[in-house]
Amino acid sequence: MGKIAFLFAGQGSQAPGMGKELAENYKCADAVFNEATDALGFDIKDMIFNGDKETLMITENTQPTIVTMSVAALRVLQEKGINPDVVAGLSLGEYTAHVASGSLDFKDAVKLVRKRGKFMQEEVPVGKGAMAAILGLDADEVREATKKASEFGVCTGANFNCPGQIVVSGEVDAVAKCCEIAKEMGAKRAIMLDVSAPFHCALLKGAGDKLAKEMENVNVYDMQIPVITNVTAEYINSKDDIKGLLEKQVSSSVLWEDSIRKMIADGVDTFIEIGPGKALTGFMKKIDKEVRVFNVEDIASLEHTLAGLAE
């Protein structure tokens, strides 16, 4: 029997009504939405179930709503007796991974990511930063393109998602230049993304500093399940490293493909994406077609996953 990893979704997969079906059918899921409302002091349950797309797209709303929905889905799987050998999350999803591991209390995590969203949003004036997806080049080629584009301003690899799909981040002119360079190097496509801020680059260092201050009042606990961090694509050794890594993560590259390869090398053959959307499932198919991949975001996907795991 191989090992199971739980993977947690990042920003961009939010949708009105996400998790509603789970909450209506499982008390443990419904309780999570109520806990989040308690922690934040406003009706986040109503925002998620009945809100509009625009409200959910505001980063300081996006982050806590995704973490809440993901933890609700996690609780259902746990109730069904499905537990992981290792956890990881894409960017924002790393907070949910810590909740799954027991290293962060859910109420603390949801308050923290609301602040994180706010800090990330405020750090760079609108119009100054940009992100772009580079398709069809490998990691080293993208690093070369960002290096050349850096003459025009901050530009760096933000998300190393899977082979042939890498996101770059930085100042508008430099990112636009990087797209041109990437196309000259043979990229299939280089597309500017519709994002509210340039995530995971040096421009967000200040947001990480503010987050660090915020974390001074938060308790972290020993990890009950190993966590692989985006920053290094390695296991976190000690709870003493958690806050520093979460601070750094805001302005560091997300080494997602390397994180997945690390888990596969350690014997993980079943991956369950937990939370809204199937972005991580899509990346998995490009990283390794041999492993089993499931996702849990509603009753149908939950039942499919449980049936698949029982085989």
CB 191 within 8 A of CB 73: no
Written as one letter, the residue type at 194 is: D
CB 10 within 8 A of CB 91: yes
Exactly one of 13, 70, 91, 259 is catalytic; name it: 91
Q: What is the dihedral of CA 189, 193, 199, 201, to 10 degrees?
A: 40
Q: Could you tell me which of 92, 83, 75 has the C-alpha nearest to residue 6?
A: 83
Bridging pattern class, strands 155-162 and 165-171: antiparallel
Q: How far apart are CA 79 and CA 285, in angstroms?
A: 28
DSSP of 89-129: ESTTHHHHHHHHHTSS-HHHHHHHHHHHHHHHHHHS-TTTE
> Which 3 state secondary structure label does DSSP give 162?
strand
Q: Is 196 a catalytic residue?
A: no
Exactly one of 70, 98, 200, 259 is catalytic; name it: 200
Q: Is 91 a catalytic residue?
A: yes
Q: How far apart are CA 242 and CA 221, in angstroms?
A: 9
Token readout for 235 is 């296991």
Positions annotated as catalytic residues are 91, 200
